[in-house]
């Protein structure tokens, strides 16, 4: 089939639509009366809530560190400090998403708009990476010098094994959670479920946009 035949085919589609496509004016008019937010703006309240809750949590962690310096053990202070930094980063990502939501305008050119929407969705993957990075910290808080001096050697070995294993796993996941690994079994296991499909799709879309940008 040559180009003109394809174009003629599409014209026949137009003709078919002209004859058979009907607009339900009442339903269309009803839409103009209902108060709805744009689908990007509808994400805003949850993001604002997360930023506010995140800031409160970060302040709490910060205050806790300041209050306990010199009093608590390094086993408590160091993981809390790392947790503080990771949570500041997470709040930063949510803040970045809020800025993107503000910048998205659905009537602007496709590539620019899609880049913002896809960046907005795919940045959620960073939240997952940070979340995994926090894992080993929760196995260290309750350590004490006394535990190492007087504790059972079996329990100490078990404790260290769990912490080291989780640290390695967290670092490995942090490095390997990326679009290039989307077809791996472990990746699909973690990111299965419909809530992740827009994120995965956005990463694929960002790749397409990147290709177009290189050719411009």
Q: Which SS3 state, helix, strand or coil, does residue 57 take? A: helix
73 contact partners, CB below 8 Å, separation of at least 6: 143, 144, 145
Among residues 144, 152, 176, 208, which is the contact residue for other proteins, using CB under 8 A?
208
Q: Which SS3 state, helix, strand or coil, does residue 86 take? A: helix
Phi and psi angles of residue 161, each rounded to the nearest 5 degrees, phi first: -60, -45
Our CB check for other proteins shows the closer of 34 and 154 to be 34
Our CB check for other proteins shows the closer of 8 and 180 to be 8
Among residues 58, 101, 133, 205, which is the contact residue for other proteins, using CB under 8 A?
205
Our CB check for other proteins shows the closer of 23 and 66 to be 23
Residue (of 126, 136, 143, 118) closest to 199 by Cα position: 118
Q: Tokens for 74?
A: 């390094």
Site string for other proteins, 157-186 (x = CB under 8 A): ------------------------------
- Spatial separation of the C-alpha atoms in residues 135 and 133, rounded to whole Å: 6
HSE of 128 in the Cβ direction (CA atoms, 13 Å)? 18
Number of residues lying near other proteins (CB under 8 A): 53
DSSP 143: -
Q: How far apart are CB 120 and other proteins at their closest, in Å? A: 9
Our CB check for other proteins shows the closer of 28 and 66 to be 28
Name the segment binding other proteins (CB under 8 A); options: 20-28, 68-76, 77-85, 144-152: 20-28
Q: How far apart are CB 113 and other proteins at their closest, in Å? A: 5
161, 107 Cβ separation under 8 angstroms: no
Q: How far apart are CB 107 and other proteins at their closest, in Å? A: 5
Q: Is there binding between residue 106 and other proteins (CB under 8 A)?
A: yes
CA distances from 63 to 58, 85, 86, 91 (A): 9, 13, 16, 17
Q: Is there binding between residue 110 and other proteins (CB under 8 A)?
A: yes
Footprint of other proteins on 31-90 (CB under 8 A): 31-32, 34, 36, 38-39, 42
- Spatial separation of the C-alpha atoms in residues 78 and 80, rounded to whole Å: 5
Binding site for other proteins (CB under 8 A): 1-3, 6-7, 9-10, 12-14, 16-18, 20-32, 34, 36, 38-39, 42, 106-114, 117-118, 194-195, 197-198, 201, 205, 208-209, 212, 215-216
């Amino acid at each position: 089939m040559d180009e003109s035949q394809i174009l003629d085919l599409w014209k026949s589609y137009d003709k078919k639509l002209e004859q058979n496509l009907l607009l339900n004016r009442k339903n269309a008019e009803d839409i103009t009366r209902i108060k709805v937010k744009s689908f990007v703006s509808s994400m805003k309240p949850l993001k604002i809530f997360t930023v506010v809750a995140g800031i409160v949590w970060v302040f709490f962690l910060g205050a806790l560190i300041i209050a306990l310096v010199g009093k608590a053990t390094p086993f408590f202070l160091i993981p809390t400090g790392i947790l503080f930094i990771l949570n500041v980063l997470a709040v930063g990502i949510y803040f970045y998403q809020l800025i993107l939501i503000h910048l998205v305008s659905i009537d602007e050119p496709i590539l620019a708009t899609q880049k913002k929407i896809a960046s907005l969705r795919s940045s959620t993957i960073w939240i997952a990476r940070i979340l995994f990075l926090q894992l080993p910290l929760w196995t260290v808080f309750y350590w004490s010098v006394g535990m190492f001096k007087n504790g059972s050697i079996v329990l100490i070995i078990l404790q260290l094994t769990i912490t080291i294993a989780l640290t390695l796993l967290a670092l490995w996941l942090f490095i390997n959670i990326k679009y290039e690994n989307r077809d791996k079994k472990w990746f699909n296991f973690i990111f299965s479920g419909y809530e992740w499909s827009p994120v995965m799709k956005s990463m694929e879309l960002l790749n397409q946009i990147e290709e177009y940008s290189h050719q411009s």
